[in-house]
């Protein structure tokens, strides 16, 4: 399939903040760190179900097929927007 990160112009910092809420960024940072949903939930004091919903939402926004794919796509976006 096509790659989101290479087929779209890299967003700048403002676009990233428009693309993701602060909570979504917190979830993405957990994914990048390789943390599980229960670990992210404990860190953010959220329920596992809430983390699961946010994870699905950020994966959808990124066009990612897995948690690892979402993490890689987010890192690429964040690194090109600094």
pLDDT tens digits along 45-66: 999 999 999 999 999 999 999 9
Q: How many CA atoms lie within 13 A of 27 on its CB side?
A: 25
| pTM of the complete model beyond 0.85 | no
Scanning the structure block, which residue is given the tokens 């809420």? 21
pLDDT exceeds cutoff 70 at 6: no
Tell me the C-alpha distance between 44 and 1, whole Å.
34
Cα radius of gyration rounded to whole Å, the chain: 12
Tell me the C-alpha distance between 5 and 63, whole Å.
10
């Amino acid at each position: 399939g096509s790659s989101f990160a290479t087929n779209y112009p890299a967003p700048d910092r403002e676009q990233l903040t428009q693309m993701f809420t602060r909570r979504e960024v917190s979830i993405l940072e957990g994914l990048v760190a390789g943390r599980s949903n229960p670990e992210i939930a404990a860190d953010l004091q959220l329920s596992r179900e809430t983390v699961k919903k946010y994870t699905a939402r950020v994966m959808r926004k990124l066009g990612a097929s897995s948690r690892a794919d979402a993490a890689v796509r987010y890192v690429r976006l964040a690194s090109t927007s600094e």
